[in-house]
Each structure stands twice: as structure tokens, then as C-alpha cells.
Structure 1
């Protein structure tokens, strides 16, 4: 039985990797930090000595970096990922979960070989996306046996059945009879959390290395995603109002209009099936 260490196991994505990994026969250990969980070790990955001890005790065959910290992502990457790379065995496989936000967002769909770009630091998402891009570069240069996995927005229920914040905000509004407004020209490749977890587990057990865009071949706008979510939960899709954001407003608000991913390589290379919304 192969040993799998999930960094961020108590998080939204991490919990699904744990659940699905155990079903698939992995020997799973994991970490938590703010979302405490009796099943996992509470570890501050920003402490290098803690990283070293964690890797020594777990002795994993595969490590999945599924941890995130929002505004503190920079410190998490600079200190935490650096510590992991310093102490991970060369024989251990490393999977790094990244984001579609590493691209400029002017015109998708983006392929793996397209050049990423750092965000303007005035954007609210700049710290997170810039840290992810820096993390990608660290992994490429710091560990040979790696896979960098980029995805779009993640949706679906976690291991405890709780839906993601995006869907919960929609359903809570509709439950009150409120209408929501979503943009039809903000485009993304949405991915179900189960499909992302399964793709990561498939990659964990393979020898595939490099950067991979995962998700369905189809894409959605935030408007069509909300409409389809309304239908999924039995609400009237007329409760979703359509708008469009100008390029000028998008630039001023730090919104990237088109972050569609070209997922054709993943669809060809993996057995994991990616459902459309």
C-alpha cells in the first residue's frame, strides 16, 4: 500500500482527496492548521523544522500540496513550500495544486505551454495568484518528480456534504426569494471537486511529470454556472440576472475576464472523467 501525505487535508479539496484516496486503497495521512481535525496532525508548514519532522515521520511515497491560505499565501509558499522542497526525499512524488489565475485572462482557452503572468499587486487576488505562480516555479526547479495541476473554480460537496461557498451563496439567496446578478462574459473552466480529487490521485499513482490543466472540455460563464446551479437545486433560473463587465471595469476591479483552460491534454492522458456543470 502506497503512503500518501496530503498537506491541507482538512480543507475543502483536501477532504475529498482523503475520502477518495482511502476508497482507492491509499495509506493516507494529512495535516491541518486552522481547521482542526482529530484525524490529522496540526502543522504550521511555515516552520521549516515542522516540515522536516512531518516528512520524516510520514515517510510518504507521494505528497499533495492542497493547502491554501488566501491573503497569507505568499508566506505559505515562501516558507512552507520551501521547507517541503528542502526536506522531501528525491524519491517522493510531489503534486502541487495551482490555479487558472496564473494567466493574464485576456483570451482563453490557455494551454499548458502558454506563458503565465503575475497580477498587478492592487488586485485583491494578486497575493494568492502570484504566490501560486511563484510556487510553480519553485516546484519545477526544486523537485524532479513532480506534477503541477492547474484548475478553474471548484464546486461540489466536500467530504461532509457541505457545498462550496459559491453554490451556498446562490442557494441561500434563492431560498429567500432573492435574485442574483452574474456576468456572462467572465469565463471559466469549472471543475467538480470529486473529479479534481480523482485526477490528483490518478496522477499520484502515475509517472506523468510536468504541468497539466484539468477539467471538462466545456466552459461556463458565471451567469450560465448560476443558471445551471438553479436548475440543479430546483430553483427558477429566472432568478439569475445577466450582466456584462467592461474590460475597463474588469481591469479596475482586478477581474480577469477569460481564464478558460484548454484541458485536452488531461482528457487524453487521464482515465478520470470530467463532468460538465
Structure 2
């Protein structure tokens, strides 16, 4: 089967890393796991050995055909449920843990979708650069919208990196195994306002934060007080908790 780089189809073949992913997920037989991007079923096979049930989402019809043949028995007894479709569009089933080597092309939207779900733990293989953005703090060159918003939903850590040679075809970048625990690092009462503020700020990241806030308040009809020490800083210099405090302190419109 020809693997398509254009669709982000880099299959993890090195069994050492596949086994490590399973171990990091701390699986038990009562777990229900969701896997996105099942591909050839290498990780799926190990998951089915360890848990009660696996839901797999796969968009490529060729892979789906192979998976139905490979796991016919598990599908028949209900331990493997294959969902053929786009993981960004289909509704996620109820699950305990998310364990997957995801297509890197959809890392950002898929992660934002995942963080809105109810789950216990996620272990995900990302492009290393994306993983570094996910865990970055203010002042880092990787710090941005993803870094800030994620902290309102979870704690994330890079467990280890994976070299390109572990995949086929080899990607041009290093990968990283990341563990996500759905325990927020910062408290945000109004997440919609918070996420809108972060998005707005980083769409104007060359401006000073005080000016950005003036524009945001004018557009939204809000009133906020910004600590003076942050007015002349850029968005990437503002700590996540400051975005949270501002979002939760907005006055009434009008």
C-alpha cells in the first residue's frame, strides 16, 4: 500500500516506541480507548491486547478495508469499533483514554477538539515542534495561542522524542510522545472570552499589549483594567494567568 506524505501518512513501525506509548498510557482492561489515525493497525493491535474496547477513527478507505480484515474478530465481538470518517468532523464516542499517532496536519484542530472532551488521559505522538509549542511558557520562541489556551484545560509534558527513522516513510522532522492530563494549569471562568482574547492578541502580535486590549475592548464592548507592567509588552511576553485574569474581569458591554 502506497503511503501518502501529502496526507500525513507516516506510519510508526518501530515496535519499541509502540510499546512505550502503550506503557505511558497506563492502560487497564476496564479502559475504553479512542485512537485517531489507525493506519495499518500497529498501535491498534497493542491497544486491543490491553483494554476493554477501542474506538478507531480512520479517514482513508484503503486503511479501513485493511483494518476490517485484520480485526474482523474484534469487530464482530464489539471490542473494536471502526469509524470511517474525518476525526475533525465526526462526533467522538465516549472514551476514557486517547492514545494515537495522529496525522500531524491536523494536530492543532484535533488537540483543541480533544481538550473539550471528558477523558482521563491522552498519550499522543506529535511533531516535536508542535509538542514544544503545546508546553511552552511566555518568552519562549514556541509560545503562542496553543500554549496559552491548552493551559486552561490540561497539563502536558513531553515524555521522549522519536527519530524519523522509526517511521515509514521517514518524516523530515523529529516526533515527540506527549502525555496530556486534563487538569488545568490556570483557572478560567469564561473560556469563550478567554480564547477570543488570546486569538485576538496573537493575530496582532507585533503590537503592544495595551494597544491590543484597547482594540479588543472597543470591538467587543468590554471594559478591562490591565496591569501597567504589561501595557508595553508583546502578546508572547504575557503569562497565561494574565490572559485568564483579564478575561474573567471584563465589565459589561456598552
Say yes or no: TM over 0.5: no
TM-score, with structure 1 as normaliser: 0.27
